[in-house]
Structure 1
């Protein structure tokens, strides 16, 4: 097994798990806009999985690592662009999900992904691998931020409800 193969395979599994989580949660929401949000995030996680798979395949075949700069440049702000286009804030605000729990799980998953990639980047001695993990960490940090902000807003609203709802 090549030096970074195992960590990349683990990262791929994390992205696949994230994809499955968001896809599953999409089936649990009541509002169509919230469902579309979770499906969109499931797609983003699958894009990350495919991004890693392409790089791993190339690494195994050629024993070198080269980052797909075109993908990084087009995917760099993908969630923020989708947030504007699909009005993610409104989707989350109007959803009737057991929101607090799902939002908390979502932001914790994204935080775990971000931290994993940060650690992998710090431990990588290959500058290209380091850049790959830094890029993924930044993507996941953006996802985490969106969910954490909405989770905090929902908790604040919940805590100010009169007792008994």
Structure 2
């Protein structure tokens, strides 16, 4: 097994697990907006999966990755922030009717774990391109975590300030 193969395979599984999580949770909501948000996030996780798979396939075939570092790290605004703005994800969450804080908490903790995994992989990578790939993946997951954590905090504050008895 090549040096980065196991890490990349584990990363692919994490992204599939994230996709499954969002799809399963989407089915629990009656609110169409919330359901669509979670299904969109499942698609984002699959985009990550295919990106990692493409890199793994290239690495296994050529013993290198298929990324031009100059262009890859040029835009420090991560892809998720751009997508969040274009799809108004934050507003969608605020307007949606998510009664279960547990799902939001689970979502941000999962994304935090994924980002931490990628940061550790980057710290241990001695290949410059592998390091850049893992750092970019960590930033993408940080964007997911930030979205869910801020909404969780907002919802928890609202919940804690409800008058007793509803």
TM value normalised by structure 2: 0.91
* Runs (5+) with no aligned partner, structure 1: none
Give the total of aligned pairs. 165
| CA displacement at 1:107 relative to structure 2 | 0.4
| CA displacement at 1:95 relative to structure 2 | 2.5
Give the aligned partner of residue 30 of structure 1: 30
* Runs (5+) with no aligned partner, structure 2: none
Query: For 1:131 and 1:116, how far apart are their aligned partners in 2?
Result: 14
Query: For 2:142 and 2:113, how far apart are their aligned partners in 1?
Result: 10
Give the aligned partner of residue 13 of structure 1: 13
| CA displacement at 1:44 relative to structure 2 | 0.5
| CA displacement at 1:71 relative to structure 2 | 7.7
TM value normalised by structure 1: 0.91
Deviates more, 1:119-128 or 1:88-97: 88-97
| CA displacement at 1:153 relative to structure 2 | 0.3
| CA displacement at 1:73 relative to structure 2 | 7.3
CA contact (8 A) 1:118 1:134 kept: yes
CA 1:65–1:85 in structure 2 vs 1: closer, same or farther (change >3 Å)?
closer
Query: For 2:147 and 2:61, how far apart are their aligned partners in 1?
Result: 37
CA contact (8 A) 1:2 1:60 kept: yes
Deviates more, 1:40-49 or 1:96-105: 96-105
Aligned residue runs from structure 1 range 8-157, under 5 A: 8-67=8-67, 77-157=78-158
| CA displacement at 1:68 relative to structure 2 | 6.1
| CA displacement at 1:164 relative to structure 2 | 1.8
CA contact (8 A) 1:103 1:150 kept: yes
Query: For 1:24 and 1:79, how far apart are their aligned partners in 2?
Result: 21
